[in-house]
């Protein structure tokens, strides 16, 4: 009977310890030492187990995930994004690729891509507007005196005919600033040799 009571006391102590509850003090010192041993073992095993926080923020989870080596294409993407000024360097390239679907009927963005209704955009950043070989630009675009950069592209894709009245581009524009930032980030990466 006494052995059964002792076994119950040990099991209860281990269960309470694992649950973080306090336990009643054992009746004598022999029982106290025996009860302390399983509790110490449970505490030690909990100390060596990795902590899982239910309140961990997505940023904390992303930091932990970033410890995994990124594919080589991600390095290129990050370098190309970093070359853009703020806020374009914060663009979501994957979301920008989704936005670029609106442009696919007229433009390609890969090296040696075909000229379609609009010019191929590979290497567009840093190029003077209206001079791309193989495309017949409007006289207004040919007469423009700007070089393509993120800010000019942002103004352009907001409403092309407001930037250059008489342009051939019939795109209605992207009103959402975040969509434009993402699209510009994607075009920068894809048109500069990054992952398309």
For residue 73, what pLDDT band results from cuts at 50, 70 and 90?
low
Maximum Cα–Cα distance across the chain: 103
Average pLDDT across the chain, whole number: 76
Closest Cα partner for 174 from 91, 100, 67, 84? Answer: 100
For the chain, which residues make up each domain, given as ranges? 2-48, 72-190
Summarize pLDDT for 124-169 with one digit per residue, the tens. 999 999 999 999 999 999 999 899 999 999 999 999 999 999 999 9
Summarize pLDDT for 180-195 with one digit per residue, the tens. 999 999 999 999 998 8
Do 181 and 189 meet the contact criterion of CB atoms below 8 Å apart? no
Closest Cα partner for 173 from 183, 159, 153, 152? Answer: 159
CB half-sphere exposure, 77, CA atoms < 13 A: 20
CATH topology of domain 72-190: Cytochrome Bc1 Complex; Chain D, domain 2 (1.10.760)
Predicted local distance difference test score (pLDDT) of residue 195: 87
Q: CA-based angle 147:153:159, to the nearest 5?
A: 125
Q: Give the tokens for residue 59.
A: 């940023």
């Amino acid at each position: 009977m006494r052995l059964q009571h002792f076994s119950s006391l040990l099991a209860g102590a281990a269960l309470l310890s694992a649950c973080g509850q306090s336990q009643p003090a054992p009746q004598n010192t022999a029982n106290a030492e025996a009860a302390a041993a399983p509790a110490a073992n449970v505490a030690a095993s909990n100390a060596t187990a990795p902590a899982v926080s239910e309140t961990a923020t997505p940023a904390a989870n992303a930091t932990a995930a970033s410890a995994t080596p990124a594919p080589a294409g991600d390095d290129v993407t990050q370098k190309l994004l970093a070359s853009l000024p703020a806020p374009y360097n914060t663009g979501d390239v994957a979301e920008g690729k989704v936005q670029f679907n609106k442009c696919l009927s007229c433009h390609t963005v890969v090296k040696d891509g075909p000229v379609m209704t609009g010019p191929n955009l590979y290497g567009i950043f840093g190029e003077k507007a209206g001079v791309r070989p193989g495309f017949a630009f409007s006289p207004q675009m040919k007469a423009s005196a700007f070089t393509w950069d993120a800010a000019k592209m942002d103004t352009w894709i907001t409403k092309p005919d407001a930037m250059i009245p008489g342009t051939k581009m019939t795109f209605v524009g992207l009103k959402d600033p975040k969509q434009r930032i993402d699209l510009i980030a994607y075009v920068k990466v894809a048109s500069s040799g990054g992952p398309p």
